[in-house]
């Protein structure tokens, strides 16, 4: 009789709703992103007219008491074509000591402030022009990551990554592991109403340096022809980043009013092979940045402004010599958003872009972002 009771007790544990929710039933969520756009923005993932944006299907669950798994698939439409991409498919540890976390598979890189956040959490229609030029909008890759959060009063997180680098490669065949990153994040509170975060990032790209140009090859434009590949437009051997974020909300209550000020600066070097260094206007290093401010003035309405610039170049061969041209994109975005709830946003945005052809694009976008199912907490 005692053995039967023990067996019954053990069996009831494994069929209990709590255990089933933890190990058997993944959390499933959907993010619907649709838009209407009038005017084509340079180096944009969205086309004119009606379209499907960064629509996500995500699933995640604890595999057991030691590992967590997640998968994110993305649908995007470009004209008459619809793309299905696997953006995330990873496992990560849950029980390592000393604040250590290891992730393996495909995931968003920790480089910079915005990159490791899903697109639907953004306050603007698209990532800033700095990201679209140097990181392919949002850089995800196959590899492994190790992070540690130190046991200090101040938030301190250190991280390293080893990634394939296929989206950041300027050569057809390169190293199996082409990208290495290291990051430092610091954060603390100024007061009950105000907090900050500062980050430093470094990305080493073993295959990022351009070593050869074909006759009349237009480096920047050739990448624009593949703008939907999510590859970086411009690559180099070393990418350095610094980011600063300040958030304010009365007594820490973000529901009714809050303000977020964010800025990032990126510096790229090792862009072309040293044999081109004596050619006129050969790029030595390139820089990009953005500054944004978003103010939520009541629970349903917010408004924001963002300005950014990104340097790039054109390069093409003329027989035995090269011709380089320095380029610079400048972008100003203003937006107003209405939140029907925490799960639904309708956003109107006007963008003015001084593009690489020295022309000005004026773009209006009306976007909706709606989520249902499981919806994880947003990052700082």
Q: Which CATH class is domain 66-74+85-364?
A: mainly beta
Pairing between β-strand 360-373 and β-strand 321-341 as defined by DSSP bridges: unpaired
- Residue identified by tokens 């303000």 is 259
Nearest C-alpha neighbor of 135 from the set 120, 154, 113: 113
Give yes or no for a contact between 371 and 344, defined as CB atoms under 8 angstroms apart.
Answer: yes
CA distance 306 to 295: 12
User: What is the per-residue pLDDT across 281-322, written as a single tens digit (0 to 9) for each?
Assistant: 778 899 999 999 999 999 999 999 999 999 998 887 766 677
Give yes or no for a contact between 35 and 349, defined as CB atoms under 8 angstroms apart.
Answer: no
Q: Which helix (H) or strand (E) holds 365?
A: strand 360-373
DSSP string, 4-72: HHHHHHHHHHHTSHHHHHHHTS-EEEEEEEEEEEESPPTT-S--SEEEE-SEEEEEEEE-SSSEEEEEE
**For position 6, what pLDDT does the model report?**
39
**For position 14, what pLDDT does the model report?**
40
Domain ranges of the chain: 66-74+85-364
Nearest C-alpha neighbor of 114 from the set 134, 86, 137: 137
Please enumerate in sequence order all residues whose Cβ is within 8 A of that of 250, keeping only pairs 6 or more positions apart, or say none. Answer: 193, 256, 257
List of the chain residues with pLDDT < 70: 1-24, 40-45, 79, 173-175, 214-230, 318-320, 356-359
Rg (CA), the chain: 23
Please enumerate in sequence order all residues whose Cβ is within 8 A of that of 164, keeping only pairs 6 or more positions apart, or say none. Answer: 141, 142, 143, 176, 177, 178, 179
**For position 342, what pLDDT does the model report?**
84
**For position 24, what pLDDT does the model report?**
56
User: What is the per-residue pLDDT across 42-67, written as a single tens digit (0 to 9) for each?
Assistant: 666 677 788 888 899 999 999 999 99
**For position 265, what pLDDT does the model report?**
98
Nearest C-alpha neighbor of 99 from the set 161, 162, 146, 160: 146
CA distance 54 to 74: 6
SS3 131: helix
- Phi-psi region for residue 162, left (φ > 0), alpha (ψ -120 to 50) or beta? beta
- Residue identified by tokens 């980050």 is 199
Please enumerate in sequence order all residues whose Cβ is within 8 A of that of 233, keeping only pairs 6 or more positions apart, or say none. Answer: 43, 132, 133, 134, 136, 220, 223, 224, 312
**For position 104, what pLDDT does the model report?**
97
Please enumerate in sequence order all residues whose Cβ is within 8 A of that of 301, keeping only pairs 6 or more positions apart, or say none. Answer: 336, 337, 338, 339
Please enumerate in sequence order all residues whose Cβ is within 8 A of that of 122, keeping only pairs 6 or more positions apart, or say none. Answer: 114
CA distance 34 to 57: 14
Q: Give how far Cα 159 sits from Cα of 29, 150, 189, 329, Å.
A: 28, 11, 22, 31
């Amino acid at each position: 009789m005692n053995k039967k009771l023990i067996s019954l007790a053990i069996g009831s544990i494994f069929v209990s709703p709590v255990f089933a929710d933890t190990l058997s039933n993944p959390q499933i969520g959907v993010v619907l992103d649709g838009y209407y756009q009038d005017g084509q923005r340079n180096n944009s993932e969205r086309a004119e007219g009606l379209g499907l944006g960064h629509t996500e299907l995500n699933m995640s669950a604890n595999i057991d008491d030691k590992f967590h798994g997640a998968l994110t698939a993305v649908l995007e439409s470009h004209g008459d074509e619809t793309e299905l991409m696997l953006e995330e498919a990873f496992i990560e540890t849950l029980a390592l000591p000393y604040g250590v976390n290891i992730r393996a598979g495909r995931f968003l890189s920790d480089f910079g402030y915005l990159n490791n956040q899903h697109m639907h959490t953004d306050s603007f229609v698209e990532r800033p022009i700095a990201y679209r030029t140097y990181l392919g909008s949002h850089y995800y890759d196959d590899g492994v990551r190790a992070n540690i959060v130190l046991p200090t009063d101040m938030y301190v997180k250190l991280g390293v990554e080893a990634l394939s680098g296929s989206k950041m490669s300027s050569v057809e065949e390169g190293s199996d592991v082409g990208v290495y990153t290291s990051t430092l994040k610091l954060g603390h509170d100024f007061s009950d109403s105000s907090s900050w975060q500062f980050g430093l990032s470094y990305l080493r790209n073993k295959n990022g340096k351009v070593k050869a140009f074909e006759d009349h090859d237009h480096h920047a434009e050739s990448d624009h022809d593949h703008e939907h590949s999510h590859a970086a437009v411009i690559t180099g051997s070393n990418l350095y980043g610094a980011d600063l974020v300040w958030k304010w909300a009365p007594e820490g209550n973000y529901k009714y009013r809050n303000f977020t000020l964010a800025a990032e600066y990126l510096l790229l070097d090792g862009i072309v092979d040293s044999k081109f260094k004596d050619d006129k206007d050969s790029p030595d290093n390139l820089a990009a940045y953005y500054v944004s401010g978003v103010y939520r003035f009541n629970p349903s309405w917010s408004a924001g402004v963002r300005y950014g610039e990104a340097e790039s170049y054109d390069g093409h061969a003329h027989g035995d010599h090269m011709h380089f041209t320095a380029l610079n994109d400048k972008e100003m975005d203003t937006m107003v958003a209405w939140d029907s709830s925490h799960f639904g946003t309708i956003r109107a945005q006007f963008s003015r872009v001084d593009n690489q052809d020295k022309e000005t694009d004026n773009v209006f976008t009306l976007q909706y972002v709606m989520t249902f199912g499981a919806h994880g907490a947003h990052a700082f």
